[in-house]
Amino acid sequence: MRIVAALLALALPLTAAPAVPAAEAPAIALSSVVPAPLEVRQQGATFRLTDRTVIEAPRSARNVANRLAEALRPATGYRLPVVERARTNKISLRTDESPGYRLTVTKSAITIGARDNAGLFDGVQTLRQLLPPAIDAATPQRAAWVVAGGEIADRPRYAYRGAMLDLARHFHTPDEVKRYIDEISRFKINYLHLHLSDDQGWRVQIDSWPRLTAVGGAPGTGVDGTGGGFLTKADYRDLVRYAADRYVTIIPEIDMPGHVNAAQVAYPELTCDGVAPPPRTDTAVGYSSLCIGQETTYRFVEDVIRELAALTPGPYLHIGGDEAHATTEADYLAFQQRVLPLVAKYGKTPYGWNEIDQAPAAKDAVLQYWNQKPTFTPVHASKVVLSPANRAYLDMKYDPSTRLGLNWAGYIEVRTAYDWDPTTYVPERAVLGVEAPLWSETLRDLDDIEFMAFPRLAAIAEIGWSPRKDWESFRTRIHAYYPRWENRGVNFYRSPQVG
Ligand code: ACM
């Protein structure tokens, strides 16, 4: 497809001039953004980005201005200097009292106002979608860089809009994680949950237990014996910084008391009999458990939580807790009653899969609902992130012909990922937000990640951001987004439902 388009473009000057000269192409409608903005009023003259346009921002918003300049310079070829004051022909970022952000387009200026830099960054993501898709090309393009006049007043429905990436079943490199952050942040996703340990591997350096990564992150520690590797603390800090520069908060997850085979291979004292189990590269679940009655277990858990909390500027630390089928119910409860308070001891809000709600200590925790039942009544916790597996799991196949992915929660075409609402599961007051998990049993590289994530991630992002949903509108808007992914080389799935 891409080659044909390129040939056509080359052929064009030899045949006829385009019917509409590029400079007169209509501006993109302000209502075409994904996720859908709250209030849109299109009116007045368009703004035209030129080689004299400047980006105006106070010193405090310099990071957002730099992100904007980075996004617009390659395809325009313009300098787009970032300045503290300018009179006209400017994109102006300013701190004001707008909840969310407010984007105003007139002939002489585009103004984005917000209370904080995260809001300004959201406004910048909206602006990027209002420029022609050629803006996402990596090299200078000939295009009319116009933005329709009017105003968008926008704010998120939920504070938490997450994505999860599983680094344990197959490791993904820091560069791959950064590329994923680049793409998800465009849809105003603001949390990235990293699943850092499982039966097959351990993917983050822990100084007090070095064999976790020396053994659990060695080559071959992944499904089918492929996909080893781990993040050093320097890698991890760099990722946290990269994400924060894009207003994404990283949430680390260490899964326990189940999903711990890799840790037990590295440290046999984490089993009850002191014997190391064999390494596992298959995809079975539910067979491993920490030894609940043993003090070594809690020394290990506290060391890991302490070191991870020190790497984590964000509020949440995820302790897994799912599928602990090899732990008795009483042991599970005893474990969570000790471990949930440890997360708080190191200054973080405990976060776990919905199973942790069995423990009274989960009352101050955030639950991540991953089951498929259409309603859920938390017993102890009061805040829930919705990730129902049959809607939000990006690793489920789209349909039976999808090469990658699994199907234990069914097939999830784009419309299935879009057509649900958090409040049918739990009451609105209990919803912290939504998250789209991507498990990596079948995924090796960034192409695989992108194919499963897009366009479904955008559907989940819209559920988290926009109070009104409309499939037909989403279908049209996400279809119009396709050239942006093409221009960035993103390997998205071309759903027959989207057209
Ligand atoms: C899960 O999918 N086991 C949380």
Q: What are the domain boundaries of the chain? A: 28-154, 160-467
Cβ–ligand 1 distance for 393 under 6 Å, the answer no
Residue 182 CB–ligand 1 contact under 6 Å: no
- pLDDT for 24 equals 54
323 CA to centre of ligand 1 in angstroms = 7
Check pocket membership of 421 for ligand 1, CB cut-off 6 A.
no
- Measured from the Cα of 370, ligand 1's closest atom is 4
Same fold: 28-154 with 160-467: no
Residues 106-134: pLDDT tens digits? Answer: 999 999 999 999 999 999 999 999 999 99
- Closest atom of ligand 1 to 393 CA is 2
Check whether domain 28-154 has CATH 3.30.379.10, yes or no? yes
Tell whether ligand 1 has an atom less than 6 A from the beta carbon of residue 353: yes
CATH of 160-467, one of 3.90.550.10, 3.20.20.30, 3.20.20.80, 3.40.50.2300: 3.20.20.80
* Nearest protein CA to atom 3 of ligand 1, as residue: 322
Predicted confidence pLDDT, tens digits, the chain (499 residues): 333 333 333 333 333 444 444 445 789 999 999 999 999 999 999 999 999 999 999 999 999 999 999 999 999 999 999 999 999 999 999 999 989 999 999 999 999 999 999 999 999 999 999 999 999 999 999 999 999 999 999 999 999 999 999 999 999 999 999 999 999 999 999 999 999 999 999 999 999 999 999 999 999 999 999 989 999 999 999 999 999 999 999 999 999 999 999 999 999 999 999 999 999 999 999 999 999 999 999 999 999 999 999 999 999 999 999 999 999 999 999 999 999 999 999 999 999 999 999 999 999 999 999 999 999 999 999 999 999 999 999 999 999 999 999 999 999 999 999 999 999 999 999 999 999 999 999 999 999 999 999 999 999 999 999 999 999 999 999 999 999 999 999 999 999 999 9
Residue nearest to atom 2 of ligand 1 (CA): 370
Which pTM was predicted?
0.95
Closest by CA to 387, choosing from 344, 433, 331, is 433
| Catalytic residue ranges | 323
